[in-house]
């Protein structure tokens, strides 16, 4: 870690017109630990005046954040990838380093509680989904962002929870995280071009006696798919034959991964690819950094 006066001195060099002066300073700053990003952001808003200096410092901050997130996601995967919220928190920190898992958990808990108050023990699977749809899409107003579909904020869970809009996979993630906290067995289906969900019921979920916090369903689905759910259109429910018709319309052959639930790792990779496409479409340098994270995550 560098002292504030050392950081300030290096930042001052970022304004130098000679590349052999500012580039080494930028490289040193880029190797600072993630814990010091806050200091760099403070300097960015309080001390930096020149546009060139600001641009170089912003890129430095981005490099640190992306490297840190890449480290966290690789660690999460190596540890089994069980906690999807943890991985989504790390992804949020690519752009919003102040976001914590506790912050996201608090917002999800509010949604869970609203749904829990409507639940009772003898609900059918369809009735549970109907309640979830009502709470998420009518009471709280979550919806698909049709106006700005590719915007990167649609892939950051904190902004999706704040703006109440997102893309198919981000809305599905909100839905799954709330549902699974109620022991409702909803999992992701990695359908090309349109992420959907499946209601999966096996002996474990069928035998749950309650939907309180103390019982937790597995993060891996292992049972019969009862029906499918489309979060992007307000939680519409459809069956396997209808899904096959969708695959036919999309000119896709039927594959197991289009019918059965995917892993948390698949979900994270898809979110990262959405971010890559978003930044790439804007020709922003973050696309290259996201690509590095993806390559590392796939190993």
Least confident of 44-58, 80-94, 277-291: 44-58
Q: How far is CA 141 from the centre of its chain?
A: 19
pLDDT at 222: 74
Strand partners, 143: 165
Tell me, which fold does domain 4-79 have in CATH?
1.25.10
Structure token digits, residue 193: 């071009």
pTM: 0.90
pLDDT for residue 221: 75
% of residues, the chain, pLDDT over 70: 95
Question: Residues 125, 132: contact at Cβ < 8 Å?
Answer: no
pLDDT for the residue 33: 92
In the prediction, which pLDDT does 270 show?
97
Mean pLDDT of all residues in 84-102: 95
- Asked if residue 65 has pLDDT above 80, the reply is yes
pLDDT tens per residue, range 185-211 = 999 999 998 999 999 987 566 665 555
Q: 127 — alpha (psi -120 to 50), left (phi > 0) or beta?
A: alpha
Question: Span 221-233, mean pLDDT?
Answer: 91
* Predicted pLDDT of residue 214: 41
The domain limits of the chain are 4-79, 100-263
Is the pLDDT score of 213 beyond 60? no
């Amino acid at each position: 870690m560098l002292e504030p006066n050392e950081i300030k001195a290096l930042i001052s060099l970022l304004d130098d017109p000679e590349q052999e002066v500012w580039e080494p300073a930028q490289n040193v700053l880029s190797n600072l630990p993630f814990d010091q990003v806050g200091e760099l952001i403070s300097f960015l808003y309080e001390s930096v005046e020149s546009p060139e200096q600001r641009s170089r410092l912003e890129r430095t901050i981005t490099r640190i954040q992306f490297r840190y997130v890449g480290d966290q996601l690789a660690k999460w995967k190596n540890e089994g990838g069980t906690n999807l919220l943890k991985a989504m928190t790390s992804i949020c920190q690519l752009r919003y380093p102040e976001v914590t898992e506790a912050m996201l958990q608090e917002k999800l808990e509010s949604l869970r509680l609203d749904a829990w108050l409507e639940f009772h023990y003898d609900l059918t699977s369809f009735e549970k989904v109907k309640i979830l749809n009502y709470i998420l899409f009518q009471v709280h107003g979550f919806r698909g962002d049709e106006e700005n579909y590719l915007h990167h904020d649609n892939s950051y869970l904190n902004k999706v929870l704040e703006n109440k809009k997102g893309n198919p996979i981000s809305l599905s993630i909100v839905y799954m995280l709330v549902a699974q906290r109620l022991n409702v067995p909803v999992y992701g289906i990695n359908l090309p071009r349109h992420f959907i969900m499946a209601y999966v019921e096996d002996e474990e979920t069928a035998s749950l006696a309650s939907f309180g916090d103390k019982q937790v369903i597995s993060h891996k689905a292992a049972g019969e798919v009862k029906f499918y759910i489309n979060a992007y259109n307000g939680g519409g429910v459809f069956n396997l034959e209808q899904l096959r018709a969708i695959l036919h319309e999309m000119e896709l052959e039927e594959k197991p991964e289009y019918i059965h639930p995917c892993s948390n790792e698949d979900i994270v990779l898809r979110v990262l690819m959405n971010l890559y496409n978003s930044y790439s479409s804007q020709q922003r340098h973050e696309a290259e950094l996201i690509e590095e994270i993806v390559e590392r995550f796939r190993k």
